Chains A and B, each alone.
Chain A
Amino acid sequence: MANGGVATAEKVERRAVGPAAAAEAGAGDPSWLRARREEAWALYEAMPMPSTRSEEWRYTDVGRLLDFDGLAVAQAPGGGPGRRSGLASEEALASEEAPVSHVGAATGLPAELRDAMAQDREGAGRVVDVDGCVVLAELDGELARRGVVLASLRDAARQGLEGVESLLATEAVPASDGKFPALNAALWSDGVFLRVPRGVSLDLPVRLARWVSSAGTAAFTRILVVAEEGSRVSFVDEILSPDMDGTALAGTTVEIFARGGAQVQYVSLQRMGRGGAYLAQQRTLAERDATLDTLNVALGGSVGRVDLNARLLGSGANSDMLGLYFGDGDQHFDFNTSQDHVAPNAHSDLLYKGALDGDSRGVFRGIIRVHEGAQQTDAYQTNRNLLMSERAVATSLPNLEIEADDVRCSHGATVGQLDAEALFYLMSRGIGRRRAERLVVLGFLGEVLSRLPMGGVVEKVTKAIEAKLRHG
């Protein structure tokens, strides 16, 4: 691929998560961005580390689970990613590239990452991010001609692409949102800017494959997706790392704008290895008649915390919010979700399901907020947990906050064990106990995937769950 290139290790420097990293982070950036980073760093320093005394962090002692002082940010000298990727759209235009279908120039990448990418079906575009730095960005040439932009976020900011300055860390996830939004806004190394022009439909997904290379690394990535009116796009964000003896952080901020009538899907596949920590802030803004669906899959890593806020800003907006987690060993997954119905006549439906084995822990805390005047809101929230061992723990805290009177809202939460009758039924047909348990778990989690109209993702996640069940 014309614009493919892989970060070379010697170009990347590491700086402890601290003032020096913050000072270096903006090198080479336009002044508006440097100012934003400085302000964000100041906010980060001013805000205390979230403690378990606060409601939102009660079950995840992030300061204890994550040793920030022991982490270093990967930064290229002179700022920016270790290897520039160029603007995918321009490159593709120049080189008449064929549709993005295989790994191409991405040799030199870790085998696990290449395997994950090789499993993918055809895509409309692909970005590869190593330790927060974009090393490859490529887009289908025809889409580029039609005005779709897929670029390294750093490049997009430097080149002053429309929408970046106005939408980056402003309306969606500003630094003032909290300690970790501030940290990301200050230190992000790179990420993805995807803009789909009015009326343009992408039939195939755009994929981001991320790799966090080793213990002690803090990778900060930002994703900014803008789907203009009536456009359609799916974005799949996969996060991987090796098994590690220490901790490595994938810090992620995701901002997604679906303008009137646009249809957007965002999928996060967290499949890091042991020692991986995933801290994500995701905000989706759906305007009039837009559909903005999300799926969060948490299978890997040691600690995962996702803060997802779906905002329904226009009448007729719709958000399906799916989540699937499967923990074993001492994995800890925490989901903090909110459905903000700001406009009347919008619909949101959340389903998060988790299976927990070993000593793992799952936390779900969700709130539906129906703002004043948001009449005819339809909002649902369901969290179901399946405990596969006696030591696993699930905490489920669904909540409603309703300031309108003509609404349909419901929430529900369950925590159950493997159904002994179901296991007996399966075994009575000749299926061994372990295999029967796996079938029940797959069936339980499968309900989430059955709602996702993305065959490739369903296959990949099912395979990953099966592999995990086999090793458990």
Chain B
Amino acid sequence: MNQPEGQMDDSPILSISGLTARVAGEPIDILKGVDLAVRPGETHAIMGPNGSGKSTLAKVLAGHPGYEVTGGSVAFRGQDLLEMEPDERAQTGVFMAFQYPVEIPGVSIANFLRTALQARLADGEELDLFDFQELLVERMELLDMDPAFAERHVNEGFSGGEKKRNEILQMAVLKPTLAVMDETDSGLDIDALKIVAHGVNTLKKEMPGMSVLLITHYQRILDHIAPDAVHVMVGGAIVQSGGPEVALELEAQGYEEYRAVTAG
């Protein structure tokens, strides 16, 4: 693993152990004991067949109220993440780029991000609107977005690719410590994929301590954003972990091997 320069502390920033979770009120766990440790500055890819629980894991980390944690623990920067409200998790540095971003009718991207940044300030402190505007414009430039886009209502009428790019814009403005990217590459054309990957890499350079959990089905994004580790999730648990070669093997062979294991 390529340890980022200047990263002295080698203890995980995120440790998930024995995590089980289900849809609130349902009888069966979707996550059946997930173990994962991510150190500061690392990028981990999570791959796995449809329905294996990748998005469930992402949403549980972000605190989606529709899921119920039935066991295990998640520590983030030494704190119990599962005890926190979604907004508190975001404020301590967790960010999830949604697989299916949600429309917020009538709320502009600019207003949304302004509110999100304002929420991070102490009571009585006011966000400097000039600084904000500057940051927003700069981030939109980084992601090759038309500045006029900032006045569009969040995800309302966005194309699939625009939604994904908007997720990364938010990430670039909010500068998280842990970015969970749930299939951000799906729906992006080849050029957009490069732009988004460049955006993520730029952020990583700016913030060497930022860790990334990158959920994907495809090798191609990993050509642009190099993972330190690749995990395979099947049936709600991580069944294999390794280096970048794991993704290349999957690309060649698919999940047949794992299906046989879980089915048998």
Question: Out of A422, A424, A426, A442, which one reaches B64, CB within 8 Å?
Answer: A424
A-contact bits for B197-223, CB 8 A (1 contact / 0 none): 000000000000000000000000000
Q: A427-B86, A431-B119 are in contact. Are A440 and B107 (CB under 8 A)?
A: yes
Question: Out of B102, B105, B119, which one reaches A430, CB within 8 Å?
Answer: B119
Q: A426-B112, A428-B62, A428-B86 are in contact. Are A443 and B104 (CB under 8 A)?
A: yes
B171 nearest CB neighbor, chain A only: A429
- Least CB distance, A324 to chain B, in whole angstroms: 12
| Chain B residues whose C-beta falls within 8 Å of the C-beta of A443 in the assembled complex | 104-107, 153
B111 nearest CB neighbor, chain A only: A439
| Chain B residues whose C-beta falls within 8 Å of the C-beta of A427 in the assembled complex | 63, 85-87, 90
**B107 and A430 contact, CB distance less than 8 A:** no
| Chain B residues whose C-beta falls within 8 Å of the C-beta of A447 in the assembled complex | 105-106
Q: A432: CB under 8 A from chain B?
A: yes
Q: How far does the alpha carbon of A333 sit from the alpha carbon of B112 in the complex, in Å?
A: 30
The DSSP consensus for interface residues of chain B is mixed
Q: B251: CB under 8 A from chain A?
A: no
- Name which of B63, B87, B95, B119 has the most chain A CB atoms within 10 A of its CB: B87
- Name which of A422, A429, A440, A442 has the most chain B CB atoms within 10 A of its CB: A429
Q: How far does the alpha carbon of A443 sit from the alpha carbon of B108 in the complex, in Å?
A: 8
**A425 and B104 contact, CB distance less than 8 A:** yes
- Least CB distance, B70 to chain A, in whole angstroms: 20
Q: How far does the alpha carbon of A223 sit from the alpha carbon of B102 in the complex, in Å?
A: 45
B93 nearest CB neighbor, chain A only: A430
Q: A9: CB under 8 A from chain B?
A: no
B-contact bits for A401-442, CB 8 A (1 contact / 0 none): 000000000000000000111101111111111011001101
Q: B116: CB under 8 A from chain A?
A: yes
**A429 and B105 contact, CB distance less than 8 A:** no
Q: A435-B115, A439-B115 are in contact. Are A429 and B170 (CB under 8 A)?
A: yes
Question: Out of A421, A433, A444, which one reaches B105, CB within 8 Å?
Answer: A444
Q: How far does the alpha carbon of A436 sit from the alpha carbon of B153 in the complex, in Å?
A: 15
- Least CB distance, A367 to chain B, in whole angstroms: 27
**A430 and B106 contact, CB distance less than 8 A:** no
B107 nearest CB neighbor, chain A only: A443
- Name which of A430, A431, A433, A436 has the most chain B CB atoms within 10 A of its CB: A430
**A430 and B90 contact, CB distance less than 8 A:** yes
Q: How far does the alpha carbon of A435 sit from the alpha carbon of B85 in the complex, in Å?
A: 14
- Least CB distance, A467 to chain B, in whole angstroms: 17
Within 92-114 of B, Cβ neighbours of A (below 8 Å) are at 95-96, 98, 101-107, 111-113
Q: How far does the alpha carbon of A435 sit from the alpha carbon of B112 in the complex, in Å?
A: 11
Within 57-83 of B, Cβ neighbours of A (below 8 Å) are at 62-66
| Chain B residues whose C-beta falls within 8 Å of the C-beta of A439 in the assembled complex | 104, 107, 111-112, 115
B87 nearest CB neighbor, chain A only: A427
Q: A197: CB under 8 A from chain B?
A: no
| Chain A residues whose C-beta falls within 8 Å of the C-beta of B119 in the assembled complex | 430-432, 435
**B85 and A444 contact, CB distance less than 8 A:** no
Number of interface residues of A (CB under 8 A): 25
Question: Out of B95, B103, B107, B113, which one reaches A442, CB within 8 Å?
Answer: B107
Q: A445: CB under 8 A from chain B?
A: yes
Q: A159: CB under 8 A from chain B?
A: no
Interface footprint category on B: 20 to 34
B105 nearest CB neighbor, chain A only: A443
Q: B174: CB under 8 A from chain A?
A: yes
**B103 and A424 contact, CB distance less than 8 A:** no
Q: How far does the alpha carbon of A432 sit from the alpha carbon of B119 in the complex, in Å?
A: 7
| Chain A residues whose C-beta falls within 8 Å of the C-beta of B63 in the assembled complex | 424, 427-428
Q: How far does the alpha carbon of A177 sit from the alpha carbon of B115 in the complex, in Å?
A: 49
| Chain A residues whose C-beta falls within 8 Å of the C-beta of B101 in the assembled complex | 425
Q: How far does the alpha carbon of A436 sit from the alpha carbon of B120 in the complex, in Å?
A: 14
Q: How far does the alpha carbon of A195 sit from the alpha carbon of B170 in the complex, in Å?
A: 52
B-contact bits for A435-469, CB 8 A (1 contact / 0 none): 11001101111110010000000000000000000
Q: B91: CB under 8 A from chain A?
A: yes
**A421 and B102 contact, CB distance less than 8 A:** yes
Q: How far does the alpha carbon of A436 sit from the alpha carbon of B112 in the complex, in Å?
A: 9
- Name which of A424, A442, A444 has the most chain B CB atoms within 10 A of its CB: A424
- Least CB distance, B194 to chain A, in whole angstroms: 26
A431 nearest CB neighbor, chain B only: B119
| Chain A residues whose C-beta falls within 8 Å of the C-beta of B90 in the assembled complex | 427-431
| Chain A residues whose C-beta falls within 8 Å of the C-beta of B116 in the assembled complex | 426, 429-431
Q: How far does the alpha carbon of A436 sit from the alpha carbon of B85 in the complex, in Å?
A: 13
A420 nearest CB neighbor, chain B only: B65
**B103 and A429 contact, CB distance less than 8 A:** no
- Least CB distance, A353 to chain B, in whole angstroms: 10
| Chain B residues whose C-beta falls within 8 Å of the C-beta of A433 in the assembled complex | 85, 87
| Chain B residues whose C-beta falls within 8 Å of the C-beta of A445 in the assembled complex | 106
- Least CB distance, A297 to chain B, in whole angstroms: 16
Which 3 pairs of residues, A with B, have the shortest CB-CB distance?
Answer: A443-B106, A430-B90, A443-B107
Q: List the interface of chain A (C-beta within 8 A of B).
A: 419-422, 424-433, 435-436, 439-440, 442-447, 450
19 further contact pairs, Cβ within 8 A, besides A425-B98, A428-B90, A429-B112:
A425-B101, A425-B102, A427-B90, A428-B96, A429-B87, A429-B170, A430-B91, A430-B174, A431-B116, A433-B87, A435-B115, A439-B115, A440-B107, A442-B107, A443-B107, A445-B106, A446-B106, A447-B105, A447-B106
Please list 18 pairs of residues, one from A and one from B, whose beta carbons are closer than 8 Å in the complex, sorted by A's number.
A419-B102, A424-B64, A424-B86, A426-B116, A428-B62, A428-B90, A428-B96, A428-B98, A429-B95, A429-B112, A429-B116, A429-B170, A429-B174, A439-B111, A439-B112, A442-B107, A444-B105, A447-B105
Q: List the interface of chain B (C-beta within 8 A of A).
A: 62-66, 85-87, 89-91, 95-96, 98, 101-107, 111-113, 115-116, 119-120, 153, 170, 174
